[in-house]
Amino acid sequence: MRWFCRLCLPIGHSCSAGDMLLSSSIMLVAATMLVLVVIFALTFGHASPPAALRPPVPDLVKLQAGTFRHRAAGEFSREGKPVTAPIVTAAIKRTLAVMRHQVTAADYQRCVDAEVCPVVDRGGAVPNLPIVKVSWRDARAYASWLSRETGEHFRLPTDEEWAYAAGSWFQDDALPETLDVGDPGQRALAIYDREASRQERLDQAPHPVGSFGANENGLLDFAGNVWEWTDTCYARSAVDARGGVTATMVNCGVRVVEGRHRTYIADFIRDARAGGCSIGTPPSNLGFRLVRDDDPRHAQRPLSAWVRRLVGLQT
Amino acid sequence: MITRTAIRAAAAATVVLAAPALAQELDLPRQKIELVAPPFVHPHEQKALHGPRIMEFLLTPEEKQIVIDDEGTKLRAMTFNGSIPGPMMVVHEGDYVEVTLVNPETNSMPHNIDFHSATGASGGGDLTLIYPGEQVVLRWKATRTGVFVYHCIPGGVGPMVPWHIASGMSGAVMVLPRDGLKDAGGKALHYDRLYYVGEQDFYVPRDAKGKFKTYDTHADAFVDTRDVMRKLIPTHVVFNGRVGALTGQNAMTARVGETVLIVHSQADRDSRPHLVGGHGDYVWETGKFSNPPETNLETWFIRGGSAGAALYTFLQPGVYAYVNHNMIEAFELGATAHFRVEGTWNNDLMAQIRAPESIRAKASLR
pLDDT higher than threshold 80 for residue B93: yes
DSSP assignment of B107-119, as one string? --S-B--EETTS-
Establish if A77 touches chain B: CB-CB under 8 angstroms. yes
The more confidently predicted of residues A196 and B270 is B270
Tell me if A183 and B344 make a contact (CB, 8 A cut-off). Answer: yes
Strand partners, B253: B340
B33 and B112 share one domain: yes
pLDDT above 70 covers what percent of chain B? 90
Query: Residue A126 is which amino acid?
Result: V
pLDDT at site A152: 94
B328 and B231 share one domain: yes
What's the distance, Cα to Cα, between the start and end of chain A in Å? Answer: 38
The more confidently predicted of residues A223 and B106 is B106
Give the closest-approach CA distance of A244 to chain B in angstroms. 15
pLDDT digits (tens, 9 = 90+) for B317-357: 999 999 999 999 999 999 999 999 999 999 999 998 888 88
Weakest mean pLDDT among A33-47, A158-172, A264-278, B316-330: A33-47
Per-residue pLDDT band at B240 (split at 50, 70, 90): very high
Per-residue pLDDT band at A201 (split at 50, 70, 90): low
pLDDT digits (tens, 9 = 90+) for B253-264: 999 999 999 999
DSSP assignment of A183-208, as one string? -HHHHHHHHHHHHHHT------S---
d(CA A144, CA A137): 11
Weakest mean pLDDT among A206-220, B8-22, B89-103: B8-22
Give the closest-approach CA distance of A235 to chain B in angstroms. 10
B140 and B260 share one domain: no
d(CA B270, CA B272): 7
pLDDT higher than threshold 50 for residue A315: no
pLDDT higher than threshold 80 for residue A306: no
DSSP assignment of chain A, as one string? -GGGHHHHGGGT----HHHHHHHHHHHHHHHHHHHHHHHHHHHHHHHS--GGGSPP---EEEE--EEEEEE-SSEEEETTEEEPPPEEEEEE-S-EEEESSPPBHHHHHHHHHTT-SPP--TT---TTSB--S--HHHHHHHHHHHHHHHSS-EEPPPHHHHHHHHGGG----PPPTTS-TT-HHHHHHHHHHHHHHT------S---TTTT-B-TTS-B-TTSS-EEEEEEEEEEEEE-TTS-EEEEEEEEEEEEEESSS-EEEETT-S----SS-SSS---S-EE---EE---GGG---HHHHHHHHHHHHH-
pLDDT at site B39: 98
pLDDT at site B8: 43
A43 and A61 share one domain: no
pLDDT higher than threshold 80 for residue A125: no
pLDDT at site B287: 98
pLDDT higher than threshold 90 for residue B58: yes
d(CA A123, CA A111): 16
Alpha-carbon separation of residue B23 from A81, B31, B93, B234, B312 (angstroms): 70, 15, 20, 48, 42
Task: Assess if residue B347 is contained within a domain.
Answer: no
A272 and A192 share one domain: yes
Write the CATH number for A150.
3.90.1580
pLDDT higher than threshold 80 for residue A307: no
Task: Assess if residue A145 is contained within a domain.
Answer: yes
Give the closest-approach CA distance of B71 to chain A in angstroms. 6
Give the closest-approach CA distance of A72 to chain B in angstroms. 17
Task: Assess if residue B218 is contained within a domain.
Answer: yes
Task: Assess if residue A10 is contained within a domain.
Answer: yes
Quick one: average pLDDT of B133-145?
97
Count other C-beta atoms under 10 Å from residue B308's C-beta.
Answer: 24
d(CA A102, CA A55): 15
pLDDT at site A2: 34
Pick from A176, A165, A164: nearest CA to A69? A164
d(CA B217, CA A28): 72
Task: Assess if residue A52 is contained within a domain.
Answer: no
The more confidently predicted of residues A266 and B185 is B185
Split into its structural domains, chain B has a count of: 2
Task: Assess if residue B6 is contained within a domain.
Answer: no
- When CB atoms are compared, the residue of A189, A247, A279 closest to B361 is A247
pLDDT at site A33: 59
Per-residue pLDDT band at A29 (split at 50, 70, 90): low
Task: Assess if residue A161 is contained within a domain.
Answer: yes
| Dihedral of alpha carbons A267, A273, A279, A280, sign | positive
Write the CATH number for B295.
2.60.40.420
Chain B interface mutation, best of A78, A192, A236, A248, highest count of B Cβ atoms under 10 Å: A192
Weakest mean pLDDT among A199-208, A211-220, A250-259, B14-23: B14-23
Instruction: Give the ipTM of the model, two decimals please.
Output: 0.75
3 state SS for A230-246: EEEEEEEEEECCCCCEE
User: CA torsion angle for B92, B93, B96, B97 (degrees, to 10)?
Assistant: 60
HSE at residue B66, side-chain half, CA atoms within 13 A, is 19
DSSP assignment of B290-343, as one string? TSPPEEEESB--B-TTEEEEEEEE--S-EEEEEEESSHIIIIII--EEEEEEES
pLDDT at site A53: 59
Pick from B211, B212, B110: nearest CA to B163? B110
Tell me if A277 and B247 make a contact (CB, 8 A cut-off). Answer: yes
Task: Assess if residue B349 is contained within a domain.
Answer: no
Pick from A126, A118, A105, A139: nearest CA to A228? A139
> What integer best gives the mean pLDDT of chain B?
91
d(CA A124, CA B52): 65
Per-residue pLDDT band at A197 (split at 50, 70, 90): confident
Pick from A63, A61, A86: nearest CA to A75? A86
Task: Assess if residue B159 is contained within a domain.
Answer: yes
pLDDT at site A203: 73
Quick one: average pLDDT of A237-265?
90
pLDDT higher than threshold 60 for residue A309: no
pLDDT digits (tens, 9 = 90+) for B7-55: 444 444 444 444 444 545 789 999 999 999 999 999 999 999 999 999 9
- DSSP structural state of residue B159: S
Active-site annotation of B, residues: 111, 114, 116, 151-152, 164, 169, 274, 298-299, 325
Establish if A119 touches chain B: CB-CB under 8 angstroms. no
Per-residue pLDDT band at A242 (split at 50, 70, 90): confident
pLDDT at site B14: 42
A15 and A117 share one domain: no
Q: In what order do the strands lie in the sheet with B236-239?
A: B236-239, B193-202, B259-266, B306-313, B280-284, B294-297
Establish if B275 touches chain A: CB-CB under 8 angstroms. no
Task: Assess if residue B185 is contained within a domain.
Answer: no
Task: Assess if residue B366 is contained within a domain.
Answer: no
pLDDT at site A65: 95
Weakest mean pLDDT among A82-86, A195-199, B319-323: A195-199
Q: Which domain holds residue A168?
A: 57-314
Task: Assess if residue B101 is contained within a domain.
Answer: yes
| Cβ atoms B102, B58 nearer than 8 A | yes
Establish if A189 touches chain B: CB-CB under 8 angstroms. yes
Give alpha helix (H) positions in chain B.
2-25, 161-166, 218-230, 327
Query: Residue A86 is which amino acid?
Result: P
Residues in chain A: 315
pLDDT at site A54: 67
Radius of gyration (Cα) for chain A, nearest Å?
Answer: 27
B208 and B161 share one domain: no
B240 and B332 share one domain: yes
B168 and B38 share one domain: yes
> What integer best gives the mean pLDDT of chain A?
79
Weakest mean pLDDT among A15-19, B85-89, B169-173: A15-19
Count other C-beta atoms under 10 Å from residue A65's C-beta.
Answer: 11
The more confidently predicted of residues B271 and B15 is B271
- When CB atoms are compared, the residue of A189, A197, A204 closest to B340 is A189
pLDDT at site B80: 98
Sequence-distant (6+) residues with CB within 8 A of A262 are A73, A159, A171, A173, A256
Per-residue pLDDT band at A305 (split at 50, 70, 90): low
Pick from B81, B86, B33, B25: nearest CA to B263? B86
Chain B residue with minimum CA distance to A239 = B357
Split into its structural domains, chain A has a count of: 2
Quick one: average pLDDT of B244-267?
96
B169 and B210 share one domain: no
B278 and B226 share one domain: yes
Q: Which domain holds residue B291?
A: 195-342
- CA B260 to chain CA mean position, Å: 16
pLDDT higher than threshold 90 for residue A191: no
Weakest mean pLDDT among A209-213, A281-285, B74-78: A281-285
Weakest mean pLDDT among A7-11, A227-231, A235-239, B154-158: A7-11
